[in-house]
């Protein structure tokens, strides 16, 4: 690993911040140093591209302009505002943390990274970003960009997939952070990692910090950062039930114990629940017979299920890939849902509910088939 002298560190700070002042991205959450704006943007930017986040951020701020407004928001409105961003627990944790700030902190923000981590959903990176940008604490904000940038600059070969590696990078970067402008320093590293020092197709030749880049000098840019591959997401097969009646479509709100909690979708039935074991082999016809019996017994709903043409619909979450086979059923007369925790929703009103991406994909498939009839 490269070791920088105090002189080199000072030169790096000056070079980096001069470039940032001239070429840093003009982003809506950078117009001020309001901790609320920094916080919401950083949570949205987790696992999501900047260009995708910008319109979401602007709509979110229009709907919930303050921490107090977010704390008091109806959860359905919050989830609707978040719809399409994915990783939906982020939205629920945002509100829980807003409620902490209002009720426990009386609206006064913690000012250090250590204290900020007491807020729900605020991890080490987000805490350091808020503390440095909003409150001027001299701490490095170590995210994927910082891992990549400093691994290349300094030839750090520690595996960034290992949780303990974060502390190593924190220790290495801490003395490099500009003590006068820590927030700008961290944002400059973010911009550097998303431009000249990207994961794929970087441009080290024209990088403003090329003179400090040891991986460029050695011709090993793409060897850094070192990261072991994640295991492939587990395939989880579901049946998605498109059930209609004169009153509309049957939708159910997912519970707090399920993924996508608070969002609405067609009934999604894990195929493993229909079988004696997860490895048991069966046919769609046999599963439909089991489903029909279960719904008649448990919900007093007499389904006549029909397979929907086409390949299963797929959507990947962090550790799971859902594979949804659609089945349809229609009631000529609208039955009671006294024993089923769902509701009939007219087609024109479905979009008013917070819907996860998998539901949008199921509706798109169904709409395509409906047009082809």
Q: Report the first-to-last Cα separation within the chain, whole angstroms.
A: 64
DSSP per-residue codes, 119-141: STT--HHHHHHHHHHHH------
368 pLDDT above the threshold of 90: no
Place of tokens 């900020």: 116
Predicted confidence at residue 371, as pLDDT, reads 54
Beta strands in 203-305 (DSSP E): 234-245, 248-253, 264-265, 268-270
CA 113 to chain centre: 22
Exposed, middle or buried: residue 210 (CB in 10 Å: 0-12, 13-18, 19+)?
Answer: middle
Instruction: Read off the tokens for 243.
Output: 């059930």
Spatial contact of 153 and 196, defined as CB atoms under 8 Å apart: no
Place of tokens 């009103």: 349
User: What whole-number distance in Å separates Cα of residue 267 and Cα of residue 117?
Assistant: 37
CA distances from 275 to 239, 242, 270, 279, 323 (A): 13, 21, 10, 8, 17
226-234 mean pLDDT: 90
Predicted confidence at residue 373, as pLDDT, reads 54
282-299 mean pLDDT: 93
Task: Indicate which residue of 2, 42, 218, 332 is catalytic.
Answer: 42
Spatial contact of 136 and 97, defined as CB atoms under 8 Å apart: no
Banded pLDDT at 282 (limits 50, 70, 90): confident
Q: What is the dihedral of CA 286, 290, 292, 293, to 10 degrees?
A: 140
Banded pLDDT at 277 (limits 50, 70, 90): low
Spatial contact of 315 and 355, defined as CB atoms under 8 Å apart: no
pLDDT tens column, 297-313: 999 999 999 999 899 99
Predicted confidence at residue 16, as pLDDT, reads 98
- Region for 318 from its dihedrals, namely left if φ exceeds 0, alpha if ψ lies in -120 to 50, beta otherwise: alpha
Banded pLDDT at 365 (limits 50, 70, 90): very high
What integer best gives the mean pLDDT of the chain? 95
81 pLDDT above the threshold of 60: yes
Predicted confidence at residue 231, as pLDDT, reads 85
Backbone dihedral angles phi then psi of residue 8, each to the nearest 5 degrees: -65, -40
Instruction: Read off the tokens for 74.
Output: 């109806």
CA distances from 192 to 50, 214, 266, 345 (A): 14, 16, 43, 47
User: What whole-number distance in Å separates Cα of residue 330 and Cα of residue 249?
Assistant: 9
Instruction: Quote the pTM value.
Output: 0.83
Clarify whether 42 is annotated catalytic.
Answer: yes
pLDDT tens column, 23-33: 999 999 999 99
């Amino acid at each position: 690993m490269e070791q920088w002298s105090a002189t080199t560190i000072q030169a790096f700070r000056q070079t980096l911040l001069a470039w940032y002042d001239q070429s840093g991205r003009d982003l809506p959450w950078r117009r001020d140093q309001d901790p609320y704006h920094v916080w919401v943007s950083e949570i949205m930017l987790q696992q999501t591209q900047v260009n995708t986040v910008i319109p979401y951020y602007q709509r979110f701020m229009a709907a919930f302009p303050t921490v107090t407004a977010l704390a008091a928001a109806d959860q359905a409105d919050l989830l609707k505002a978040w719809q399409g961003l994915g990783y939906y627990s982020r939205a629920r944790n945002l509100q829980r943390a807003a409620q902490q700030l209002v009720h426990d902190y009386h609206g006064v923000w913690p000012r250090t990274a250590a204290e900020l981590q007491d807020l729900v959903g605020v991890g080490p990176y987000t805490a350091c970003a808020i503390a440095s940008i909003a409150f001027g604490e001299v701490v490095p904000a170590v995210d994927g960009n910082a891992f990549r940038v400093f691994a290349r600059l300094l030839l750090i070969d520690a595996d960034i997939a290992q949780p303990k590696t974060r502390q190593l990078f924190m220790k290495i970067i801490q003395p490099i952070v500009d003590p006068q402008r820590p927030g700008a320093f961290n944002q400059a590293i973010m911009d550097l990692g998303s431009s000249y020092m990207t994961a794929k197709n970087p441009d080290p030749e024209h990088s403003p910090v090329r003179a400090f880049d040891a991986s460029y000098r050695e011709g090993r840019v793409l060897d850094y950062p070192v990261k072991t591959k994640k295991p492939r997401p587990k395939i989880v097969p579901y049946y998605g039930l498109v059930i209609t009646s004169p009153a509309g479509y049957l939708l159910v709100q997912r519970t707090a114990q399920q993924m996508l909690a608070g969002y609405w979708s067609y009934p999604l039935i894990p195929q493993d629940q229909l079988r004696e074991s997860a490895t048991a082999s069966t046919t769609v016809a046999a599963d439909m017979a089991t489903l029909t019996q279960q719904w008649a017994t448990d919900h007093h709903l007499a389904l006549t299920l029909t397979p929907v043409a086409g390949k299963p619909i797929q959507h990947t979450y962090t550790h799971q890939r859902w594979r949804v086979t659609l089945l349809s059923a229609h009631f000529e007369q609208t039955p009671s849902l006294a024993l089923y925790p769902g509701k009939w929703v007219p087609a024109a009103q479905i979009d008013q509910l917070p819907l996860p991406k998998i539901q949008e994909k199921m509706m798109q498939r169904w709409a395509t088939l409906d047009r082809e009839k």
